[in-house]
Amino acid sequence: MSAAPLSSHIHPCEALNKVWAWARTQGPHVPAELGINFALPYLIYVQAERPLGQVPAFVAASAPPMLWSVVRLARRRRLDAFSILALTGIALSMLAYLGGGGITFLRIRERLVTAVIGLIFLASAAIDKPLIYHLARARVRTRPSSEANAFDAMREHPVFRRTMMVLTLVWGTVLLGEAAISVGLVFVLSIRQYWVANPILGYGTLGITTAWTYRYAYRRLTPLAASQVKASAPVRPAPRD
């Protein structure tokens, strides 16, 4: 089946409505995210570096983002593919911090967590179980049942399966690339510069890849969903003369 879209892109008014809806629901959380994941770790490291040393200060500065992730998972009160992936990342981060060694090796191990998650994405694609499908399904399950049913109705279609596979491969490759760049930054930036540059790299990569994901999925799956609705619509009898 051709993926030629009925509407190849989101209408500007619809896009603005989506942005406005996101700003109303998620906007208030943005300052907290930036504070806990960006500003607070930097301030903790700057204040703790002299009295504690580089390694203890780095571990202390890494605590707020990790604790924030645990709190967010606890508030979800459900175990799904997204939660399992997040817990895996937290567990790997803790192992990285407990591994000992100097500050350089600590930062490298901490960034290798991203590489491991990227490899999980690629491995899931290699065994034909694309991880993006399970993450998307977990997200859809929080929405009205009609959306969840429509999502499940598409899962065996070749266009849908290829879309999930492409998204999984892209995310795995992007995460590996981000990890490689981050490891490179370890050797060219001071620790304080690293605390500023690394979150910018992470948030920038996440934002760009997420935006591309929504656009690609919309263009590929909107016509498929429309055809599914059309196929399931009851056939009306032709009017009699």
Helical H segments across 77-232, by residue range: 81-97, 103-126, 131-140, 145-154, 158-188, 191-232
pLDDT score, position 67: 81
Identify whether the C-beta of residue 96 lies closer than 8 Å to the C-beta of residue 113.
yes
CA dihedral of residues 74, 76, 79, 81 (deg, nearest 10): -120
What is the mean pLDDT of the segment spanning 217-235? Answer: 63
Assigned domain for 143 exists? yes
pLDDT score, position 227: 61
For residue 8, what is the DSSP state?
S
Assigned domain for 66 exists? yes
Q: Measure the CA–CA gap between 8 and 175, rounded to whole angstroms.
A: 28
- Give the residue, 233 or 194, on which the prediction is more confident: 194
Helix (H) or strand (E) holding 55: helix 54-76
For residue 101, what is the DSSP state?
S
Assigned domain for 20 exists? yes
Q: Per the structure block, which two tokens stand in for 171?
A: 């995310």
What is the mean pLDDT of the segment spanning 194-215? Answer: 87
Assigned domain for 53 exists? yes
Assigned domain for 110 exists? yes
Model confidence at 72, pLDDT cuts 50, 70, 90, reads confident
- Residue type at 92? L
pLDDT in tens, 137-163: 877 776 667 666 777 777 777 888 898
**pTM attached to this predicted model:** 0.73
Assigned domain for 234 exists? no
Q: Which domain holds residue 102?
A: 12-229
Model confidence at 171, pLDDT cuts 50, 70, 90, reads very high
Assigned domain for 241 exists? no
Assigned domain for 87 exists? yes
pLDDT score, position 181: 93
- Give the residue, 138 or 10, on which the prediction is more confident: 138
Number of domains in the chain: 1
What is the mean pLDDT of the segment spanning 116-142? Answer: 87
Model confidence at 121, pLDDT cuts 50, 70, 90, reads very high
- Give the residue, 212 or 156, on which the prediction is more confident: 212
**Mean pLDDT lowest among 13-22, 37-46, 85-94, 164-173:** 13-22
Q: Kindly list the distances between the CA atom of residue 69 and the CA atoms of 97, 108, 222, in Å, as whole numbers in the listed order.
A: 16, 21, 32
Q: Is the pLDDT assigned to residue 112 strictly greater than 70? A: yes
pLDDT score, position 59: 81
Q: Which range in 22-31, 107-116, 134-143 is most confidently predicted, on average pLDDT?
A: 107-116
Model confidence at 19, pLDDT cuts 50, 70, 90, reads very low
What is the average pLDDT score of the chain?
A: 75
